[in-house]
Amino acid sequence: MRGAAVSEPGFRAGFAELARRGLSFDAWVYHHQLPGLRDLCRSRPEVPVVVDHLGGPLAVGPYAGRRESVRAAWRAALTDLARVPSVHVKLGGIGFPLMIEPSAVVARRGPEARRALAADGLDPDAVPPTSGELAAHWAEDVRWVIELFGVDRCMFESNFPVDRVTCSYRVLWNTYKRIVADASADEKAALFRGTARAVYRIPVPPPAPPAHPSPWRP
């Protein structure tokens, strides 16, 4: 979403129309655009809004190598946005090239893991991050977002195939499972399906009928 678009009359008129049609709005923005999104959400609190990819904390261009300063700005803006009850967050984009430097994650690979990979004839610097390594990189921030918004306003997302440049689909979801391993069953249910069903009004399928054994025949 272009930063200037949120203040354009035509854009705001279209945004207001979503409420009349019973629709929600997904916002793909970067961390420095969150204040503009906050103002838009405040103008029409009746429109459910979903912030994609954790609010886009950038890790490339002028933001490369500045993870701590980006994190501080991102957290401040997201904290302000969380005060708008209509806003929800998709927890994802953890393999998105604009939000993570895979080489930096791999560079922190421990000596034991490096020796094991080398013993298998693999280049320790070329093997993609594991779910454990990605969880170590993202867990603090993802858990912070969950704590800030609550599980009823957060949902996990895949962002595939884009995140495929960093990890496989299996590794991605295993990363999420590691991050919330200590959450309760109800909290996990909300994060992995419940919140998404509620926000996007996805009908819950009826329970399957009980299986009946085949009649016995002599």
- The total domain count for the chain is 1
What is the CATH number for 53?
3.20.20.140
Residues 6 or more apart whose CB falls under 8 angstroms from that of 118 comprise: 124
Q: Is residue 209 part of a domain?
A: no
Domain containing residue 148: 3-199
CB burial of residue 13 (10 Å; 0-12, 13-18, 19+): exposed
Measure the CA–CA gap between 53 and 33, rounded to whole angstroms.
13
Q: What is the pLDDT along the chain (218 residues), one digit of tens a residue?
A: 555 677 788 999 999 999 999 999 999 999 999 999 999 999 999 999 999 999 999 988 999 889 899 999 999 999 999 999 999 999 999 888 888 777 777 777 888 888 888 888 878 888 889 999 999 989 999 999 999 999 999 999 999 999 998 899 999 999 999 999 999 999 999 999 999 999 999 988 888 887 766 665 55
Q: Is residue 161 part of a domain?
A: yes
Q: Is residue 210 part of a domain?
A: no
